[in-house]
């Protein structure tokens, strides 16, 4: 069995590692990063354990640059600091890798491949692809991520994307530059907010199957504590996306179906509730015509709303905003590739 050939496109690959209370794992994570990566940025997010100092003192990898925050900005703030530094240094694709050991550095090239090959602007891991891996996931994380995945589908418009809180990601520099970092949450909503803002920029997003590693690390995110906060933010972002996409930027068949469907649903619901109250108060049963006048708008409105959802699901971005690969890159990727040491066919 032969291994998939490595990507040969001449693109500079950088890794950003947000570091906060990860001194037990960060050195091992850096050591496991392969030669396909040209630059590594460790962002010490005002870590009380001195992650940045530890890396500077004990890591000899010349690719590593340590950047410190004077104040804690959260994982999102650390990642965006890394994005800014990597883009300024000329990186084409930037991978975000946690320093707690949950993400296998051997998967960097796998996660980045859709972006490196020009198929997507942003790629992220999906831990739900493997049933075996789902069984290993703590139950609270499993159900919390499932709920957040559905909310993210609604608010971002990426109906084919799952596991939105997965932080193992790769982004093309052009896609990162198309985002307004000041509008992206710096805390636990960061990964989801990235998808929402990428949707606004009409970037192509790809899911990459992966397996997570659960060891002795502890997560700072408690899903039960943030689920209500996430729900409120998702509903607000959903309203903004619908307004921007179907009424401000364009007005099409989906817009008309949503508008008419909501009007019919509202009319049928309000009229039916009023007639039901009158019937209960007077003891006189409502006529067949009255019942139908309430039921038909609800049925038609619900059908129009389902049609709108179908059109919305088909409206995912399909053309990457990153520059298309050149002919030379395409020919290089199609050429026979030498096997790496230890990867010969077996």
Domain borders along the chain are 13-245, 251-313
Q: Is the pLDDT of residue 81 over 60?
A: yes
pLDDT > 90 in the chain, percent = 62
Please tell me the distance from the alpha carbon of residue 7 to that of residue 81, in angstroms, as a whole number.
27
C-alpha angle 36-325-194 in degrees, rounded to nearest 5: 70
pLDDT of residue 335: 57
Confidence band (pLDDT; 50, 70, 90) for 341?
Answer: very low
**What CATH number should be reported for the domain whose range is 13-245?**
3.90.550.10
Please tell me the distance from the alpha carbon of residue 95 to that of residue 108, in angstroms, as a whole number.
7
Q: How would DSSP label each residue in 30-77?
A: HHT--TT--EEEEEE-S-TT-HHHHHHHH---TTEEEEE-SS--HHHH
In the β-sheet with 122-126, what is the strand arrangement from edge to edge? Answer: 64-68, 39-44, 13-19, 93-96, 169-172, 122-126, 205-209
Closest by CA position to 134, among listed 214, 194, 62:
214
Ramachandran sector of residue 101 (left: φ over 0; alpha: ψ -120 to 50; beta: rest): left
C-alpha angle 258-259-260 in degrees, rounded to nearest 5: 95
Average pLDDT, integer, range 133-157: 81
Higher per-residue confidence, 165 vs 195: 195
The shares of helix, strand and coil residues in the chain, as percent rounded to the nearest 5, are: 50, 10, 40
Closest by CA position to 125, among listed 194, 189, 203, 210:
210
pLDDT of residue 11: 81
Beta strands in 150-247 (DSSP E): 169-172, 205-209
The tokens for 258 are 């949503």
pTM: 0.83
Q: Per-residue b/e over 246-260, b at no fewer than 16 CB within 10 Å?
A: beeeeeeebbebbee
Please tell me the distance from the alpha carbon of residue 322 to that of residue 180, in angstroms, as a whole number.
16
| Average of per-residue pLDDT values in the chain | 86
| DSSP β-bridge partners for residue 172 | 93
CB of 65 within 8 A of CB of 19?
Answer: no
């Amino acid at each position: 069995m032969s291994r998939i050939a490595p990507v040969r496109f001449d693109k500079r690959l950088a890794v950003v590692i947000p570091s906060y209370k990860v001194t037990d794992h960060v050195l091992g994570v850096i050591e496991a990063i392969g030669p396909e990566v040209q630059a590594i940025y460790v962002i010490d997010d005002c870590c009380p354990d001195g992650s940045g100092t530890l890396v500077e003192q004990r890591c000899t990898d010349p690719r590593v640059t340590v950047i410190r925050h004077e104040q804690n900005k959260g994982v999102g703030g650390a990642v965006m600091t890394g994005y800014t530094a990597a883009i300024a240094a000329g990186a084409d694709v930037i991978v975000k890798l946690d320093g707690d050991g949950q993400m296998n550095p051997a998967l960097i090239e796998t996660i980045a491949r859709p972006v490196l090959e020009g198929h997507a602007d942003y790629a992220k891991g999906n831990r739900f692809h493997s049933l075996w891996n789902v069984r290993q996931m703590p139950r609270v994380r499993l159900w919390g991520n499932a709920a957040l995945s559905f909310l993210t589908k609604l608010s971002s418009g990426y109906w084919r994307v799952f596991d939105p809180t997965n932080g193992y990601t790769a982004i093309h520099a052009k896609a990162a530059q198309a985002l307004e970092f000041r509008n992206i949450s710096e805390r636990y909503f960061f990964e989801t907010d990235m998808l929402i803002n990428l949707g606004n920029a009409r970037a192509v997003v790809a899911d990459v199957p992966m397996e997570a590693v659960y060891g002795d690390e502890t997560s700072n995110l408690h899903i039960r504590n943030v689920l209500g906060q996430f729900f409120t933010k998702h509903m607000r972002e959903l309203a903004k996306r619908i307004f921007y996409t179907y009424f401000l930027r364009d007005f099409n068949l989906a817009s008309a179906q949503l508008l008419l469907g909501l009007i019919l649903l509202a009319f049928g619901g309000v009229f039916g509730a009023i007639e039901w109250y009158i019937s209960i108060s007077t003891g006189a049963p409502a006529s067949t015509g009255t019942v139908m006048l309430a039921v038909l708008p609800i049925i038609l409105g619900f059908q129009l709303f389902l049609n709108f959802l179908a059109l919305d699901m088909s409206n995912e971005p399909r053309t990457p905003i990153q520059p298309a690969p050149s002919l030379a890159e395409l020919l290089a990727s199609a050429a026979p590739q030498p096997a790496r040491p230890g990867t010969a066919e077996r």
